[in-house]
Amino acid sequence: MDETDVKILNVLQRNSALSPKDVADQVGMDERSCADRIKALEDDGIIVGRVALVDPRKTGVGMTAFVAITTPEHSEEWLQQFHSAVMSFPEVVEFYRMSGQVDYLMRVVVPDIDAYDVFYKKLIAAAKLKDVSSTFAIERIKYTTEIPLTAEE
């Protein structure tokens, strides 16, 4: 990625709905070259998708839980079962395998504590778990989907 690619990506990270012409105008290049670069960034898998960001509070899923999971085993069969189950839960919006004391960390969004309890019961029924620890966000201080980028030298 060069400096122009970084500029294009920074513009698109702020608003992916912009047309190639609008992006080109902001970056300072012609529309055709900009469209070609955007296509190349998509073809190279650097741009993996374009989405609309939705305010969870205004859509009824304003409670965020961070769920730390410790597993009792690490067999391939267990991993497949657990990963498959978690992928089927729409409440899980982020899911990471971790290093250190916790094996997995997930971010879960739900309407309220009752909905979280329903989710929790589905989770513990899905696979054998050693420990599940949930913490609930009181206030979101910073949230961004923008990745800080720099040009390769």
Indicate if the pLDDT at residue 76 is higher than 70. yes
Give per-residue pLDDT as tens, 19-28: 999 999 999 9
Structure tokens at 35: 């469209």
Range of the domain at 116: 57-136
Let me know whether 62 and 110 are in one domain.
Answer: yes
Total domains in the chain come to: 2
Indicate if the pLDDT at residue 153 is higher than 80. no
In a domain, residue 142? The reply is no
In 3-125 the beta strands, taken as DSSP E runs, fall at 63-70, 92-97, 104-110
Let me know whether 88 and 18 are in one domain.
Answer: no
Reported as a pLDDT band with limits 50, 70 and 90, residue 98 is very high
Q: How far is CA 82 from CA 39, 69, 74, in A?
A: 36, 11, 10
- Residue entry with tokens 């205004």: 58
Indicate if the pLDDT at residue 152 is higher than 90. no
Let me know whether 79 and 20 are in one domain.
Answer: no
CATH number at residue 15: 1.10.10.10
Res 102: pLDDT? 97
CATH number at residue 97: 3.30.70.920
- Residue entry with tokens 């054998």: 128
